Chains A and B, each alone.
Chain A
Amino acid sequence: ILNVEQSPQSLHVQEGDSTNFTCSFPSSNFYALHWYRWETAKSPEALFVMTLNGDEKKKGRISATLNTKEGYSYLYIKGSQPEDSATYLCAFLSPTSGTYKYIFGTGTRLKVLA
């Protein structure tokens, strides 16, 4: 059974603080990892597609890194704002029948306090 874990489960930070959280996944047979952002009452939206060891992706104040050898990815948010409050999900691509499906972590719930 594939285990994709995220930590912490939830996080409260003050506006302006920087923060980071972790996604751990099996390091063997790595193909790709996706990060999603999920705001309450909306649908998850893709943030990053991570494919290569050492990858670093950036979108505004949010960035992500990838270490496939040790099986983790970090998501960083610089200068958190209240609108960053959401659940951040990582999705590990697991092979199935010659194709792939997502196995999701349980998410990190971020609350940014004004």
Chain B
Amino acid sequence: NAGVMQNPRHLVRRRGQEARLRCSPMKGHSHVYWYRQLPEEGLKFMVYLQKENIIDESGMPKERFSAEFPKEGPSILRIQQVVRGDSAAYFCASSPATVGRGTEAFFGQGTRLTVV
């Protein structure tokens, strides 16, 4: 049973380009969470999705950022017109149900985005 797979592991984009980050959750997991880690900072919540639904996007910038988790295929975090401040590590986690008293999330290894 493969873990949470994120790709690419490293992504370099020029300012103004689009970045697409993919997350394939563990088999059987229908809940996906995206977190961003800025240099010298902790994991900041961005968005929580279930299949075809955005549950909570309160941590995601209103402009240029979007996320989806379609019925088939991976979850995608899309950043349009990237700027230098978007450079960070982006982590995806999945769980079979909402995280809670009996359920923890499983993390991918992250995508390190560098905007040049």
Contacts and interface: CB of A to CB of B under 8 A. Distances in A.
Contact of B101 (A31, A97, A102): A31
A31 B99 CA distance: 11
B28 interface: no
Given A43-B4, A96-B48, A107-B42, A102 B110 contact: no
B109 A43 contact: yes
A42 B9 CA distance: 12
A39 to B, nearest CB: 11
Contacts of A107: 42
B104 A104 contact: no
A44 B100 contact: no
A101 B56 contact: yes
Given A43-B107, A46-B105, A93-B99, A101 B48 contact: yes
Which DSSP category, helix, strand, loop or mixed, fits chain A's interface? strand
Contacts of A46: 104-106
B98 A100 contact: yes
Contacts of A89: 42-43
A42 B106 CA distance: 12
Contacts of A99: 48, 55, 98
A49 B48 contact: no
B45 interface: yes
Nearest to A105: B42
A31 B42 contact: no
Given A101-B45, A101-B99, A102-B99, A43 B104 contact: no
B72 interface: no
Interface of A: 31-32, 34, 36, 41-46, 49, 51, 89, 91, 93, 96-97, 99-107
